[in-house]
Amino acid sequence: MIKKLLIANRGEIACRVIKTAKQLGIQTVAVYSQADCNAMHVNMADEAVLLGPAPSKDSYLKYEAIISHAKNLRVDAIHPGYGFLSENADFAQQCEANNLVFVGPPASAIQAMGSKSAAKRIMEEAGVPLVPGYHGDDQTPATLKKAADDMGYPVLLKAAAGGGGKGMRQIWHEDEFYPALQAAKRESMASFGDDHMLVEKYLTRPRHVEIQVFCDTFGQGVYLFERDCSVQRRHQKIIEEAPAPNMPEGVREQMGEAALKAASAIHYVGAGTVEFLLDDDGAFYFMEMNTRLQVEHPVTEMITGEDLVAWQLQVADKKPLPKTQAELKCQGHAFEARIYAEDADNDFLPSTGHLALLKPPATNAFIRVDTGVTQGDDVSVYYDPMIAKLVVWGENRELALSRLYQALGDYHISGATTNIPFLRKVANSQAFKQAELTTTFIEKFADQLT
C-alpha cells in the first residue's frame, strides 16, 4: 500500500498530484530548489526537502539525491509528474532497485518509447499504422537524403531523441536537404546529446489527435477517448480539447484499438498517451507514445469524470483498473488553455516578473484552474513559464467554448506579460468556433488572430 508519496516535480503538476494524494489519505513529500522555497507545492505537502540551487540540473534532475531523500523519509512511492525525470528510464530503474514504487510504466517501456525511431520499429511490427518515412540505423547523410527524395517533398526531419519540437525541420525542396539536416543535427545534439534523425513524410494539414490509455499490472488496458491538440505554435500545444470534434465515423474506436495495441506491444503499465496524426481522409498514423501523465490530462478528466492521478496510484498499488472499457463514458466537451508568461506581440518571447496581481476566475463544476503559483510569486527564468491551465467543461462544444472565452476574460494577471489576450482571440475566432482544426491553424488563420 502506498502510504507516503514523494513528488519529484514542481509547479502545477506537483500541486495536482498532492491534491489527489491528500484525498486518498496518502502522506506527501515535496522536493524543491532554492528558487522554490516558498512555492505552492512546498506549502501544500506534508513534508518538503531542499534539493539544491535553482537550475534543474542541480535540483529537480538530481535523481540520486531524490532517491536518497525518499529512503530517509521512508517514502513508498515516487510520482515524477511530467517533464524532468518522468521519462528517464534510469530513474525508474533506480527507484525499483531501491524498493520505491515508480508511479509510471516499467523502465523497459520508457526505454522502448524513448527513441522515436526505435518506437516506430516496434509499432511497425505490432501492426500500428505509421507516418510513412525512414527510421533506420544507417545515418549517412546520403541515405537520409535518398529516403527523402524517394518519398517526395515536403518531408520532416525529426530528432529520434526529440521532444518539445526541438531538432525538427520541414524541407520543401531537395536543395534544402543538407543544410536542414546539419541544422537539425546540431540542435538535437545540443538539446539531447544525440543526433540520430528520422525522415517523415510531412503531412501538410493533419490534426494531432491523441489517445489516453491506461493499463494495469494484470495485462488489462482501456482507452479514455481522445484529445485534439491541433492548435499549436512551433509544434507546441496551446489549446487542447476532448473529445476531438468531427471525428470521421469509426475512427475513434479504430484509433483507440491501435493505441491499445501499441501499449500492449511494450507491456505497458499505467497512464500513457499514444499520439497520432489524422489526415482529412480519416487515415491516421502513429507519431509517438508519451510514457507519462500529459499536461493536457484534465480535459480527459472533465469528459470522463475520472481522476487520472487516482488511477495512476491505484495501478501503482498493483490493483486492477478502476473501470472497464464498457463502463467508461464520454460526456460533454472540455477545453484546456495553457496560460503562459510570454509576449504574443513579440514573437512569444518568455516573460518573467513578479505576479503582483493574480486573480483566476471563480472555479466551479465547469471551470477548473490548475496552477502552481499564487499572487506575489515570481515567474523566474529557470523553469517553464506556464502560469496555469484553465480547464472548462460544457454540455457541448459551443457552450464549453463560450465558457472558455468568458473565463479567460475573468483571469486577471499583472506583473508579467501573458498570452491570455492571444488565447481569447483564438477562442473567439470563427475558425476555432467552426473547429477548423489542423496543426497549421495558427498560421492559416493568422488574420483572425490579430
Is 156 a binder of ligand ADP (CB under 6 A)? yes
Q: Name the residue nearer to ligand ADP (CB basis): 202 or 405.
A: 202
Of the candidates 53, 164, 320, 376, which one interacts with ligand ADP according to CB under 6 A? Answer: 164
Residues 379-398 as x/- pattern, contact with ligand ADP by CB under 6 A: --------------------
CA distance 104 to 195: 27
Spatial strand order of the sheet with 367-371 comes to 284-290, 270-278, 207-215, 221-233, 236-242, 333-340, 386-394, 367-371
Q: Name the residue nearer to ligand ADP (CB basis): 158 or 425.
A: 158
Of the candidates 232, 273, 314, 417, which one interacts with ligand ADP according to CB under 6 A? Answer: 232
Residue 229: name the closest of 298, 291, 183 by CA. 298
Torsion angles phi and psi, residue 53, rounded to 5: -60, 170
Q: Which three cell numbers mark 339?
A: 496560460
Beta bridge partners of 334: 242, 393
Residues 278-297 as x/- pattern, contact with ligand ADP by CB under 6 A: ---------xx---------
Torsion angles phi and psi, residue 173, rounded to 5: -150, 150
**74: burial class by Cβ within 10 Å (0-12, 13-18, 19+)?**
exposed
Nearest distance from C-beta of residue 212 to ligand ADP, angstroms: 15
**211: burial class by Cβ within 10 Å (0-12, 13-18, 19+)?**
buried
Nearest distance from C-beta of residue 345 to ligand ADP, angstroms: 24
Is 235 a binder of ligand ADP (CB under 6 A)? yes
Catalytic residues: 292
Interface with ligand ADP in residues 191-220 (CB under 6 A): 200-203, 206, 208
Q: Name the residue nearer to ligand ADP (CB basis): 33 or 232.
A: 232
Of the candidates 439, 441, 442, 445, which one interacts with ligand ADP according to CB under 6 A? Answer: 439
Nearest distance from C-beta of residue 166 to ligand ADP, angstroms: 6
CA distance 19 to 9: 14
Instruction: Give the binding site for ligand ADP (CB under 6 A).
Output: 131, 156, 162-165, 200-203, 206, 208, 232, 235, 275, 277, 287-288, 439
